[in-house]
Amino acid sequence: MDLELTEEQRMIRDTARDFAVKEVEPKAAEIDKNGRWPSELVKRLGELGFMGVAIPDEWGGAGMDNVSYALAMEEICRACASTGVIMSVNNSLYCDPVYKFGTPAQKDRWLRPYASGEKLGCFGLTEPMSGSDAQTMATFAERKGDKWLINGSKNWITNGPHADTIIVFAISEKSTVGKAKHTAFLIDKDTPGYSREKPDEKMGIHGAHSCTVFFENIELSDEHRLGNVGEGFKVAMATLDGGRIGIAAQALGIARAAFEKAVEYSKDRKSFGVPLANHQAIAFMLADMATEIDAARLLIWRAASMKDKGVRHTQESAIAKLFASEMATRVAHKAIQIFGGYGYSKEFPLERHYRDARITEIYEGTSEIQRIVIAANALK
């Protein structure tokens, strides 16, 4: 890959940075404190083309590439991780699979208005008793003549309380020998039998609402089926390969925010008569933080570049997500240490960055799942 960004990539990065600094960052603390869904920022993301960055313009997207998407994600998440993950879910977990696996008619109905930001999508894989082991899900799709009957539930669905449509994965064929078959479906929020719980109360990303979604005797036709019957797991895994790039970029943005604040503070705050940055212990911490941030960015760009080339990137996405997410927690931890007591105070944003960073090690595949994926590829 070429490490020199194209003019178009620099343009989208700079546009995202300008928007993030002027409109997102000033509201980040209030969004976190009040757990407020940032509807006005979500609308602006759509207007700027950030809700379908890598979707062709013929389907409502910005027509950019996945490196551009990663660049934009980093900038938005540096300002507000909540706003960033709303954008990530709509791009990576909703628009991308509909674009890849949807029919022209499905793309016209369930992609175009979502990629343009007019509507919002979400992704339903995790269940109350089925997280990392997605094969054990209980949501079931029963064939009834020319219809499908869906029953079950999904939880921790980011964007769930506000999404217009959810991609749902359900068992469509049980098996006593081997693994069950799954199928993916597109279900609109106003479908009879569709209901949502109140938003979850979480440690971080307070503005990115999630919830449990229930399906009770939901009747669907084949036009709602995304991909082939029995190939839902393929759809889910292909989607997560790309989604992990988005979460890695989110982690990178959070880490960069913590690092930049730590650098400024270490130059302004004095101890023993000199700025903190003059103490080797602090300078070495900053050096380690800068090195890890740069390494994460290069891993993310590699995975995004491979996705743009249309080559398999499961291993590279897992590596980027694993390293970037754990790096973000380490960097936020060190930034709090540099701030001392102030870092532990809600008056300063470091504790928010720390809380927001932690989730990146969990959703869209825990660090343990990433290690399983990486090890499996290494041992082939």
DSSP 200: P
Mutual angle of helices 66-79 and 280-308, in 10-degree steps? 140
Mutual angle of helices 232-268 and 81-88, in 10-degree steps? 160
Contacts of 160 (CB under 8 A, 6+ apart): 122, 124, 154, 166, 196, 209, 210, 211, 212, 213
Q: Report the distance separating Cα 133 and Cα 135, nearest Å.
A: 5
Q: Which residues are known to be catalytic? A: 364
Question: How many beta carbons lie within 10 A of that of residue 254, not counting itself?
Answer: 34
Contacts of 364 (CB under 8 A, 6+ apart): 93, 240, 243, 244, 246, 247, 321
Q: Are strands 121-124 and 165-173 parallel, antiparallel or unpaired?
A: parallel
Amino acid occupying residue 59: W
Residues in a beta bridge with 183:
170
Cα–Cα nearest to 102, from 186, 226, 221: 226
DSSP 104: H
